[in-house]
Amino acid sequence: MAGAFTYQKTEKLKSRKLLQQLFAQGKTFAVFPVKVFYMPLAETATSSVQAGVGVSARNFRKAVDRNRIKRLLRECYRLNKESLHTAIDRSGKKIAVFFLYTGKELPDYIFLTEKMKLALTKLETSLA
């Protein structure tokens, strides 16, 4: 079994086709300032949960700011994903998740961690 706090290539949501499908057909909910897209995956998926993060270039003009937000989102997801993974593995499903940052101001780490925990528990309950 891999380490609990990893976030490797196989766990990332990578396929362009899947992303398009997710934005078109996936279900959503919002925990401001983060909007969450999710949908079930086929059995052939490489990992039980495939996750991605993103920021709109409209709200953040500079690439440095976008990179910063995506890094913070990844870090928060990495450190708090464990309960979600165990829940998913127990139910036997596979899902794809995308976290989109919709705020207009740069967040800090502690604030985002709280929001991520909230979003993950909400995701668990809505899947159950």
Is there a contact between 108 and 68 (Cβ–Cβ < 8 Å)?
no
Can you give the binding site for RNA, defined by CB under 7 A?
2-10, 12-17, 19, 52-54, 62-64, 67-68, 70-72, 74-75, 78-79, 108-109
**Shortest distance, CB of residue 128 to RNA, whole angstroms?**
27
**Looking at beta carbons only, is 108 or 128 nearer to RNA?**
108
Q: How far is the CB of 18 from RNA (least distance, A)?
A: 8
Q: How far is the CB of 123 from RNA (least distance, A)?
A: 18
Cβ-proximal residues to 82 (8 Å cutoff; 6+ apart), any chain: 4, 5
Cβ proximity to RNA, 91 vs 109, nearer residue: 109
Long-range contacts, stretch 109-115, CB < 8 angstroms, 24+ apart: 109/72, 109/75, 109/76, 112/34, 112/72, 112/73, 112/76, 113/76, 113/79, 113/80, 115/31, 115/32, 115/33, 115/34, 115/76
State how far the alpha carbon of 18 is from the alpha carbons of 23, 48, 121, in Å: 9, 15, 24
CB of residue 71 vs RNA: minimum separation in angstroms?
Answer: 4
Q: Which is nearer to RNA, 16 or 90 (CB)?
A: 16
Nearest CB to RNA, comparing residues 10 and 91: 10
